[in-house]
C-alpha cells in the first residue's frame, strides 16, 4: 500500500509535536519549527509551497534559506532555484550555485542546465579546471559534448585524454556511440591514431576480444615505430584481449615478457609483467616464470591498487602450488599489501581446502602469520576455527591446549563486526546470558566521527516536514560526513513507521539502521537493534510459522537475509519475493498445497510458500535447522553430498558439528548464508522473547546449540 503525501504530512506533524513535547523541562520551550530548524525552515517550507504549485512563494523561501541557512539546506535551496523561473533566472541561479557551493555535484547540476539552454561556452567555462583522469565522468561527458558543439580546438585532444587515462565507463561508451562515432571515417583504415586507440578501448569495453586480438598487432607496430606510447590502460586492454581471446598461453606469456623488458622504462611495464604472469599461471610447468612475472610486476606497480592486484595473483599461484608451504611464509606477503579486505576471498577459499584435506594443524600457523595483517573478519574466522579444532581434538597442543583454545576464541571475539564468530566465540568461552547480551549490543568497532549538525538538520527536516522519499538517498550521501547514530536510528524509525503504509520503506529503514550500527562504537539499545532486525509482516509470519511448525524467528531471519523485506525484489538467478523462491520451486509447493493460481510477488503467498518449504527441508534433514538452511540456498542433494564427504574426512559417523561442517562447504555464498541466518535468528529470539508465544525462555547456550548440534 502506497502512502499518500497528505498522510505522510499528518504523520510528520504528529512526530514533530512529540519531538517538541520531549524537550527537557529545564530547557526553553520550543513553540515552532523555526526554533528547531532556524533559517533552514525556509527550505522545507519552500518544498511544501512548490508541492502546492506556489512557485513564486517557494522561490522566496529558497532564496532566504540559501542566504541564511546552514550549509546543506542552503545548498539544496540553491539547487532548487536552478529549476525555477525564466531561462535567464535559471542560468543566474546556476552561477550562484557553483559560486557558493563549488563541488562536482553543483557543477553537474549547472552544466546540465547550461547545456539544455544551449549555453555551451558556459559549460566549457565552468568545467575548465576538471581533471580528465579523476573527475566525475557524467560531468566530463557533458563538457565533451559542449566542446563538440562549439568546435573547440581542444576537443579532440581532451576526448583522447579522457578515453586513454581511465577505465572506460558507461558515460564514455554513450558519448562514443551518440557523438564521437559520427565523426569517424567510413573505413577504419582512414582513422587517425587517436580514433584508432579510442575505438580499440571501446571494442574491449564491449568485450569483443577476438576483434581486439586482431587489432593488437597493429598497436604493437605503432609502439615499435614510436608513433604512440604504450599507455598503461591500453596495455591492460590488450592483456585482456589476449587472456580472453586466445588460449595460446605460452606464446602470449613469452610475448608479454619480451614487451615488458622492451618497455621497462614506461609506466605500462606493470601491465606487461602482470599479464605475462596471468598467461604463465595457466600452464602447469611454468611456476617459476609465473612467480617472477608477478614479483616484477609488484616492483613496477605505480599505486597500491596495482600492487595488491599483483600480490593477489601471486598468492593465488603459491596457494595452488602448495598452500601448506605458503601458509608458513604468508606474513612476508601480507606485510606488503594495502587493503586487507581485498585478500579475504583467498583465505575464504583456502579454509575449506585445509578443512576437507585434514590439514588442521596449519590453522595455528596461519593465525600467527596473518594476525595484524589480514582483515578483522578473516582473523576472527581463522581464530574461531583453530579454537574449535583444538577443542574437538583434531589439533594436539599437549598441556597448553586449554590456554591455546581460550586465546583463539578470545581473538575471534575481539575481531571485526561479523556477529557470527563473536557470538560463537562468546558461547565457547562460556559467557553468561548477561555477558552475551552485551556482545550483541556492541555492534561494531569503529571510531565515531564528529557530528555535522548541518547534515543532520537537512535529514531531520525531511522527517519532520514529511518527505520520507528524500531521506534515504540524501542519507547515503551524508552519513559519512557526520550523522550521529542517534539521528540515523531516528530516521530509520520514521521510515520503519512509514513502511506500514508503503512497504518500499521497509528495506530502506533496515539499510540505514544496519549501516549506521556498523560505523559506531555506541552501545546499542534493544529498540535500536530492533530496527536492524525488524518483524515486518508479523501477522503473516506468525500465522504460517504456527501452521507449519517452524520457529517464527527463523522465518524473520530468512526473510531479512533473503530480501531485506523487499517484497518486489528479484535476483539475477530469478528468485522472487520476500523468501526468494524460484518459480519452479513455487510450482512444486503450490501442487503440494493444492494452490492453483498464485503469484510469488504476493507477500502472503511468498511467506506461506517459503515457510512451508523450510519446514519441509528441516524434516528431510532429520531436524537439522542449519542443514535445512544450507539446502534452502544450495539444494538438499548437494548438502547431503557435502555432509557425507565431510563426515568421512573428520571421522564422524553422525552428528557432525554444524559450525565445523559450515567451514567445509565448497560454496562461499552458502557458507556466508549460514552465518547470516544463525546470527539473525539469535538476534530475533533475544530481542523479541517477551513478544513471542513460547512456554519458556531459552538461554543463549540452548539457542546456539540448536543450530550447531
Query: Looking at per-residue confidence, does 29 or 556 come out higher?
Result: 556
Residue whose grid cell is 549538525 = 453
Instruction: Please write the tens of the pLDDT for every residue from 381-399.
Output: 999 999 999 999 999 887 7
* pLDDT value at residue 703: 85
User: What does pTM read for this prediction?
Assistant: 0.91
Per the structure block, which three cell numbers stand in for 389? 579444532
Q: How far is Cα 670 from Cα 618, in angstroms, rounded to an integer?
A: 17
Q: How far is Cα 233 from Cα 241, in angstroms, rounded to an integer?
A: 12
Average pLDDT, the chain: 92
What is the pLDDT averaged over residues 28-54? 87
Q: How far is Cα 252 from Cα 247, in angstroms, rounded to an integer?
A: 9
* pLDDT value at residue 17: 46
- Which of 74-78, 286-290, 689-693 is least confident? 689-693
Q: How far is Cα 92 from Cα 602, in angstroms, rounded to an integer?
A: 50
Per the structure block, which three cell numbers stand in for 567? 517484497
Banded model confidence at residue 441, pLDDT cuts 50, 70, 90: confident
* pLDDT value at residue 19: 45
133: Cα separation from own chain's centroid: 24
* pLDDT value at residue 522: 78
Residue by residue, DSSP assigns 130-191 as: --TTTS-HHHHHHHHHHHHHHT-TTHHHHHHHHHHSS---HHHHHHHHHTGGGGS-SSGGG-
Instruction: Please write the tens of the pLDDT for every residue from 159-204.
Output: 999 999 999 999 999 999 999 999 999 999 999 999 999 999 999 9
Share of the chain above pLDDT 90, in %: 83
* pLDDT value at residue 442: 77
* pLDDT value at residue 306: 98
Element (DSSP H or E) covering residue 100: helix 87-100
Task: Specify whether the CB–CB gap between 194 and 228 falls below 8 A.
Answer: no
Instruction: Please write the tens of the pLDDT for every residue from 582-594.
Output: 999 999 999 999 9
Task: Specify whether the CB–CB gap between 203 and 232 falls below 8 A.
Answer: no
For residue 125, count other CB atoms closer than 10 A to its CB: 11
Instruction: Please write the tens of the pLDDT for every residue from 48-80.
Output: 999 999 999 999 999 999 999 999 999 999 999
Element (DSSP H or E) covering residue 368: helix 362-370
Task: Specify whether the CB–CB gap between 420 and 679 falls below 8 A.
Answer: yes
Banded model confidence at residue 437, pLDDT cuts 50, 70, 90: confident
- Which of 120-129, 294-303, 683-692 is least confident? 683-692
What is the pLDDT averaged over residues 325-339? 95
Instruction: Please write the tens of the pLDDT for every residue from 552-566.
Output: 999 999 999 999 999
* pLDDT value at residue 692: 60
* pLDDT value at residue 26: 43
Nearest alpha-carbon partner for 99 in 112, 88, 110, 90: 110
* pLDDT value at residue 34: 82
What is the pLDDT averaged over residues 424-443? 89
Instruction: Please write the tens of the pLDDT for every residue from 356-376.
Output: 999 999 999 999 999 999 999
Radius of gyration, CA atoms only, the chain: 30
Task: Specify whether the CB–CB gap between 287 and 314 falls below 8 A.
Answer: no
Q: Is a pLDDT exceeding 60 seen at residue 36?
A: yes
Nearest alpha-carbon partner for 253 in 264, 263, 262, 242: 242
Q: Is a pLDDT exceeding 70 seen at residue 446?
A: no
Cα dihedral: 249, 251, 255, 260 (round 10) = 40
Instruction: Please write the tens of the pLDDT for every residue from 587-634.
Output: 999 999 999 999 999 999 999 999 999 999 999 999 999 999 999 999
For residue 291, count other CB atoms closer than 10 A to its CB: 17
Q: Is a pLDDT exceeding 90 seen at residue 8?
A: no
Q: How far is Cα 402 from Cα 598, in angstroms, rounded to an integer?
A: 56
43: Cα separation from own chain's centroid: 32
Q: How far is Cα 537 from Cα 562, in angstroms, rounded to an integer?
A: 15
What is the pLDDT averaged over residues 293-300? 98
Amino acid at each position: 500500500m502506497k502512502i499518500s503525501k497528505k498522510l505522510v504530512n499528518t504523520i510528520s506533524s504528529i512526530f514533530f509535536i512529540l519531538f517538541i513535547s520531549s524537550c527537557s523541562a529545564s530547557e526553553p520551550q520550543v513553540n515552532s519549527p523555526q526554533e528547531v530548524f532556524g533559517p533552514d525552515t525556509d527550505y522545507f517550507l519552500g518544498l511544501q509551497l512548490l508541492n502546492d504549485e506556489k512557485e513564486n512563494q517557494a522561490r522566496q523561501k529558497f532564496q532566504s534559506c540559501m542566504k541564511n541557512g546552514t550549509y546543506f539546506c542552503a545548498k539544496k535551496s540553491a539547487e532548487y532555484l536552478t529549476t525555477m523561473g525564466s531561462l535567464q533566472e535559471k542560468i543566474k541561479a546556476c552561477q550562484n550555485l557553483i559560486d557558493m557551493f563549488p563541488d562536482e555535484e553543483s557543477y553537474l547540476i549547472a552544466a546540465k542546465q547550461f547545456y539544455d539552454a544551449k549555453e555551451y561556452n558556459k559549460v566549457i567555462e565552468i568545467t575548465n579546471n576538471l581533471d580528465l583522469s579523476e573527475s566525475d565522468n557524467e560531468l566530463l561527458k557533458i563538457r565533451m559534448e559542449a566542446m563538440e558543439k562549439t568546435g573547440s580546438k581542444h576537443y579532440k585532444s581532451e576526448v583522447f585524454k579522457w578515453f586513454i587515462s581511465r577505465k572506460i565507463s558507461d558515460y564514455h561508451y554513450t558519448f562514443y556511440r551518440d557523438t564521437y562515432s559520427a565523426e569517424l571515417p567510413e573505413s577504419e583504415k582512414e582513422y587517425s591514431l587517436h580514433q584508432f586507440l579510442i575505438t580499440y578501448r571501446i571494442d574491449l569495453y564491449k568485450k569483443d576480444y577476438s576483434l581486439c586480438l586482431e587489432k593488437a598487432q597493429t598497436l604493437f607496430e605503432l609502439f615499435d615505430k614510436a608513433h604512440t606510447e604504450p599507455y598503461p590502460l591500453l596495455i591492460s586492454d590488450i592483456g585482456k584481449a589476449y587472456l580472453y581471446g586466445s588460449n595460446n598461453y605460452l606464446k602470449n606469456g613469452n610475448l608479454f615478457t619480451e614487451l615488458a623488458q622492451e618497455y621497462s622504462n614506461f609506466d605500462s611495464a606493470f601491465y606487461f609483467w602482470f599479464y605475462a604472469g596471468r598467461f604463465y599461471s595457466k600452464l602447469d610447468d611454468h611456476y617459476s616464470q609465473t612467480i617472477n612475472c608477478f614479483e616484477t610486476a609488484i616492483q613496477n606497480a605505480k599505486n597500491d591498487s596495482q600492487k595488491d592486484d599483483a600480490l593477489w595473483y601471486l598468492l593465488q599461484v603459491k596457494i595452488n602450488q602448495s598452500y601448506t608451504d605458503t601458509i608458513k611464509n604468508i606474513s612476508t606477503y601480507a606485510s606488503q599489501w594495502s587493503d586487507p579486505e581485498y585478500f579475504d576471498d583467498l583465505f575464504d577459499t583456502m579454509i575449506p581446502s585445509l578443512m576437507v584435506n585434514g590439514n588442521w594443524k596449519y590453522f595455528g600457523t596461519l593465525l600467527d602469520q596473518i594476525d595484524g595483517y589480514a582483515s578483522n573478519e578473516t582473523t576472527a574466522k581463522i581464530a574461531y576455527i583453530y579454537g574449535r579444532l583444538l577443542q574437538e581434538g583434531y589439533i594436539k597442543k599437549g598441556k597448553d591446549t586449554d590456554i591455546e583454545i581460550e586465546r583463539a576464541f578470545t581473538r575471534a571475539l575481539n575481531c571485526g563486526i561479523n556477529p557470527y564468530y563473536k557470538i560463537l566465540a562468546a558461547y565457547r568461552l562460556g559467557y553468561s546470558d548477561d555477558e552475551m547480551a552485551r556482545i550483541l549490543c556492541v555492534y561494531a568497532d569503529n571510531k565515531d566521527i564528529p557530528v555535522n549538525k548541518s547534515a543532520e538538520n537537512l535529514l531531520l527536516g525531511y522527517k519532520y516536514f514529511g518527505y520520507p522519499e528524500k531521506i534515504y538517498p540524501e542519507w547515503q550521501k551524508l552519513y559519512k560526513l557526520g550523522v550521529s547514530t542517534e539521528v540515523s536510528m531516528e530516521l530509520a524509525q520514521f521510515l520503519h513507521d512509514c513502511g506500514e503504509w508503503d512497504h518500499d520503506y521497509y528495506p530502506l529503514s533496515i539499510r540505514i539502521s544496519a549501516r549506521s550500527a556498523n560505523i559506531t562504537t555506541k552501545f546499542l539499545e534493544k529498540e535500536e537493534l530492533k530496527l536492524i532486525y525488524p518483524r515486518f509482516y508479523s501477522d503473516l509470519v506468525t500465522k504460517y510459522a504456527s501452521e507449519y511448525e517452524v520457529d517464527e524467528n527463523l522465518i524473520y531471519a530468512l526473510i531479512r537475509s533473503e530480501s531485506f523485506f523487499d517484497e518486489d525484489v528479484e535476483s539475477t538467478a530469478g528468485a522472487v519475493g520476500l523468501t526468494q523462491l524460484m518459480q519452479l520451486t513455487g510450482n512444486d509447493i503450490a501442487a503440494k498445497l493444492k494452490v492453483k493460481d498464485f503469484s510469488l510477488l504476493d507477500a502472503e503467498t511468498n511467506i506461506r510458500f517459503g515457510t512451508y518449504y523450510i519446514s519441509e527441508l528441516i524434516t528431510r534433514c532429520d531436524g537439522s535447522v542449519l542443514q535445512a538452511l544450507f539446502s534452502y540456498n544450495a539444494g538438499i542433494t548437494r548438502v547431503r553430498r557435502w555432509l557425507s564427504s565431510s563426515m568421512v574426512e573428520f571421522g564422524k559417523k553422525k552428528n557432525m558439528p554444524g559450525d565445523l561442517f559450515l567451514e567445509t562447504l565448497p560454496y562461499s555464498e552458502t557458507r556466508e548464508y549460514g552465518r547470516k541466518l544463525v546470527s539473525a535468528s539469535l538476534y530475533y529470539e533475544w530481542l523479541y522473547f517477551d513478544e513471542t508465544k513460547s512456554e519458556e525462555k531459552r538461554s543463549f547456550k540452548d539457542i546456539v546449540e540448536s543450530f550447531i548440534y
